[in-house]
Amino acid sequence: MGSTLSQLVNHQVRLASRPVGMATAENWRFGTEPVAEPADGAVLVKTLVLSLDPAMRGWLNEGKSYIPPVGIGEVMRAGGVGRVIASKNPDFAPGDVVSGLLGVQEYCQAAVGVPGGRLEKIDLKVGTPAQWLNVFGMPGMTAYFGLMDIGQPKAGETLVVSGAAGAVGQTVGQLAKIKGCRVVGIAGGAAKCDWVVKELGFDACIDYKGGSVREGLKAHCPKGIDIYFDNVGGDILDHALAKLAPKARIVICGAISQYNNTAPMQGPKNYMSLLVNRARMEGMVVFDYAARFPQAIAELAGYLKDGRMKSKEDIVDGGVAAFPQTLNKLFAGENFGKLVLRVAADD
Amino acid sequence: MGSTLSQLVNHQVRLASRPVGMATAENWRFGTEPVAEPADGAVLVKTLVLSLDPAMRGWLNEGKSYIPPVGIGEVMRAGGVGRVIASKNPDFAPGDVVSGLLGVQEYCQAAVGVPGGRLEKIDLKVGTPAQWLNVFGMPGMTAYFGLMDIGQPKAGETLVVSGAAGAVGQTVGQLAKIKGCRVVGIAGGAAKCDWVVKELGFDACIDYKGGSVREGLKAHCPKGIDIYFDNVGGDILDHALAKLAPKARIVICGAISQYNNTAPMQGPKNYMSLLVNRARMEGMVVFDYAARFPQAIAELAGYLKDGRMKSKEDIVDGGVAAFPQTLNKLFAGENFGKLVLRVAADD
């Protein structure tokens, strides 16, 4: 086994410098490393797919957040799914499929048990590797706990979700339908909006690129918005604030419209609607709910199995070298479904 | 009685036009009316004191809010305390002291039972007429329910309140101290800050006119802010957002810094701190808690009686004619304590 590993080369993407605005080629450095035997207690994972997430942009900035920034020169942080190819940890065996923070690289030495070294064994009978980065991964968990714990949907209420065709939005909307809500999506482009309504069963979807969000919310939310699940921030958050129903809940999940800003963040100027409507705006971080992930995954797996829920992944081939342009595709809103980078075929 | 009433003249202040920015003399019209016998079911109230509230500025704007705007030509809306001088309602007798929306006028024909015609009998043994507009009135009720229901203070937590020497802030801070919080005020000027610390017992008070709020919060909230009770909005809200502790609660009570803006409202650009800190920002409207006012008043009256709480009113003489300049004093932050206009001595 040792001799086999030593023939492998690990291609990696490292952070070369901190971007100002959208990341460019100069912010990244490609490198290679030999692949070594795992150290005692560690496992060696071959990356199959990597997750591209809006939160990645925040990790590139200096400064305190819910997680430290990626350091200059470090392998770019990324969640992924891979297969264990060597193990010196009794809990993992070669052949196990795992998810965790593998980083943008082909092979990951996961020092299980240290911070960031957490690996979860996953079951490919429940979903594909890409689905394990989507509905059964962080986006799905964010959707589930953001909606259920913060949004607290009640049958008959109106839910609006931005980024409706994206990783979090698709699950939020479908889950809210299952819970009896009227569901209105906001997405960019007719194709996404059609899909959200026809395939996912949303009641309506507003195309923010093709029309007025304000008019769309007026038309599709005649009784106001009870829950707004916000993935985008910016003007769309303000339009939603202006249409709140009494006792509304806004789930702050992200603000992708603002992440590449070089100007100061745009604050929601209609926030006093919270007062007028006795409404609430609340943030959530998915890691807080880790102990309840298995229960949520089981519930979502049931919906996918019985056909009440679908998942869509936008899988880009090209390996780790394609990471920089794939990340920018995310911020341009060009992905259609959860954006995933395929690093290796699972063979 | 009829002949006495007919000799009285009712001086009134009416809205002449909607202000742009701060209200000016041209926005108001002074008028007089004869005083008539109350109609069947109504009572005639002689105004003693009127409440000047930040919310008044919002009532001057066209557009939907939690309460309709004051119409052009109408008597300016104002809460007040007065004495019943004639009654055709079996629930009220001459001599009763009442609070309600009396309007900026010397005599009010209160059509009890119609919207806006609600009168509450009050007990001057509990507090003075001015205190019934402060700690036992809407500001006190706002402080009580905003803190207890939305803020949900726990002993040992750090609470920050803006407008700390104002009507709502003084009660919020003192009540939070009683509930075991570390309390940091924000107020304008050394005199107010000294009073808040030395007389009201706050742990610290930051003078936003004399120094940096950011530095002050850093110095006085070493463990971050668990509850921020916001009366002012604007930059101070942003500074508070930047210092939130995990699971913090922001009570949105007002945004006095923004009410006279002619530019668009300034949104809180640090609102993504809600996500990072899993925090919540929630609005409240005091009228929702009306059924529980008696219980809150009883609790607050106990604290005032046993000396654990104080109240401060800034009482301006000059009658209804002084209303326009007194209102602007409020927005300039020149009041020290709850701003009250005395309309008549209680004799």
Order of all β-strands in the sheet with B244-252: A204-207, A182-187, A158-162, A225-230, A244-252, A280-283, B280-283, B244-252, B225-230, B158-162, B182-187, B204-207
Per-residue pLDDT, A241: 96
- The average pLDDT across B304-314 equals 96
Per-residue pLDDT, B116: 61
Q: Which of B238, B274, B285 sits opposite A252 (nearest CB)?
A: B274
- The average pLDDT across B314-339 equals 93
With contact defined as beta carbons under 8 Å apart, do A110 and A79 qualify?
Answer: no
Q: Which residues share a beta bridge with A252?
A: A230, A283
Per-residue pLDDT, A115: 62
Cα–Cα distance measured from residue B47 to residue B10, given in angstroms and rounded to the nearest whole number = 10
With contact defined as beta carbons under 8 Å apart, do A110 and A91 qualify?
Answer: no
Task: Name the residue in chain A with its Cα closest to that of B248.
Answer: A282
Helix (H) or strand (E) holding A144: helix A138-145
Per-residue pLDDT, A69: 94
Query: Which pair of tokens denotes residue A97?
Result: 């499929």
Cα–Cα distance measured from residue B180 to residue B34, given in angstroms and rounded to the nearest whole number = 53
Under an 8 A CB cutoff, do A267 and B264 touch? Answer: no
Under an 8 A CB cutoff, do B271 and A277 touch? Answer: no
Cα–Cα distance measured from residue B159 to residue B176, given in angstroms and rounded to the nearest whole number = 7
Q: Which of A267, A274, A275 sits opposite B266 (nearest CB)?
A: A267
Under an 8 A CB cutoff, do B252 and A271 touch? Answer: yes
Per-residue pLDDT, B2: 46
| Contact map slice: B 20-49 vs A, CB within 8 A | none
Q: Chain-wide mean pLDDT for chain B? A: 93
Structural domain boundaries of chain A? Answer: 2-134+312-342, 138-287
Interface-testing mutation among B257, B259, B271, B277, with chain A (most A C-beta atoms within 10 A): B271
Per-residue pLDDT, B115: 62
CA-based nearest residue to B231, from B171, B182, B289, B307 = B171
Per-residue pLDDT, B113: 66
β-pairing, A244-252 vs A225-230, is parallel
Under an 8 A CB cutoff, do B288 and A278 touch? Answer: yes
In chain B, the N- to C-terminal Cα span, in Å, equals: 17
Under an 8 A CB cutoff, do A274 and B266 touch? Answer: no
Residue B114 has pLDDT above 70, yes or no: no
With contact defined as beta carbons under 8 Å apart, do A202 and A196 qualify?
Answer: yes
B59 touches chain A (CB under 8 A): no
Q: Name the 3-class secondary structure at B292.
A: helix
In this chain, the answer to whether the domains covering B2-134+313-342 and B138-287 adopt an identical fold is no
Q: What is the CATH number of domain A2-134+312-342?
A: 3.90.180.10
Cα–Cα distance measured from residue A171 to residue A169, given in angstroms and rounded to the nearest whole number = 5
Per-residue pLDDT, A243: 97
- State the alpha helices, DSSP H only, in chain B: 2-5, 55-59, 138-145, 167-178, 190-198, 213-220, 234-241, 273-276, 293-305, 323-331
Q: What is the pLDDT of residues A15-48, one digit of tens each?
A: 999 999 999 999 999 999 999 999 999 999 999 9
Residue B10 has pLDDT above 70, yes or no: yes
Work out the angle between the directed axes of helices A234-242 and A213-220 (0-180°, nearest 10). Answer: 30
Q: How many CB pairs under 8 A join A and B?
A: 101
Q: What is the pLDDT of residues B153-183, one digit of tens each?
A: 999 999 999 999 999 999 999 999 999 999 9
Q: How far does A92 lie from chain B, in Å, by closest CA?
A: 33
Q: Per-residue b/e over B319-345, b at no fewer than 16 CB within 10 Å?
A: bbebbbebbebbbebebbbbbbbbbee
- The average pLDDT across B200-223 equals 97
pLDDT level of residue B118 (50, 70, 90 thresholds): confident
> Distance between alpha carbon A237 and the CA centroid of its chain, in Å?
19
Per-residue pLDDT, A117: 67
Query: Which pair of tokens denotes residue A258?
Result: 């603002």
Per-residue pLDDT, B43: 94
Interface-testing mutation among A149, A256, A271, with chain B (most B C-beta atoms within 10 A): A271
Q: Which of A266, A275, A288 sits opposite B252 (nearest CB)?
A: A275
Classify residue A310 by burial, with Cβ atoms within 10 Å: 0-12, 13-18, 19+. middle
* Stretch among A65-69, A317-321, B271-275, B278-282 having the lowest mean pLDDT: A65-69
Residue B74 has pLDDT above 80, yes or no: yes
Cα–Cα distance measured from residue A222 to residue A158, given in angstroms and rounded to the nearest whole number = 9
- The average pLDDT across B240-251 equals 97
What ranges make up the beta strands (E) of chain B? 9-15, 28-34, 43-51, 79-87, 97-101, 107-110, 119-121, 158-162, 182-187, 204-207, 225-230, 244-252, 280-283, 313-316, 338-342
Q: Which of B264, B265, B281 sits opposite A274 (nearest CB)?
A: B281
CA geometry: angle A145, A148, A151, nearest 5 deg = 105
Q: Which of B264, B276, B280 sits opposite A269 (nearest CB)?
A: B264
Q: B2-134+313-342 domain in CATH 3.90.1150.10? A: no
Q: Which of B65, B258, B276 sits opposite A65 (nearest CB)?
A: B276
Q: B138-287 domain in CATH 3.40.50.720? A: yes
Residue B304 has pLDDT above 80, yes or no: yes
Name the phi and psi angles at B59, rounded to 5.
Answer: -65, -15
Which segments in chain A show pLDDT lower than 50?
A: 1-2
What are the distances in angstroms from CA A322 to CA A11, A25, A315, A327, B194?
A: 12, 11, 12, 9, 61
| Amino acid symbol at A82 | G
Per-residue pLDDT, A262: 76
Classify residue B281 by burial, with Cβ atoms within 10 Å: 0-12, 13-18, 19+. buried
Which chain A residues are within 8 Å of B66, Cβ to Cβ? Answer: 275-276
ipTM value = 0.88
Name the phi and psi angles at B234, rounded to 5.
Answer: 65, -150
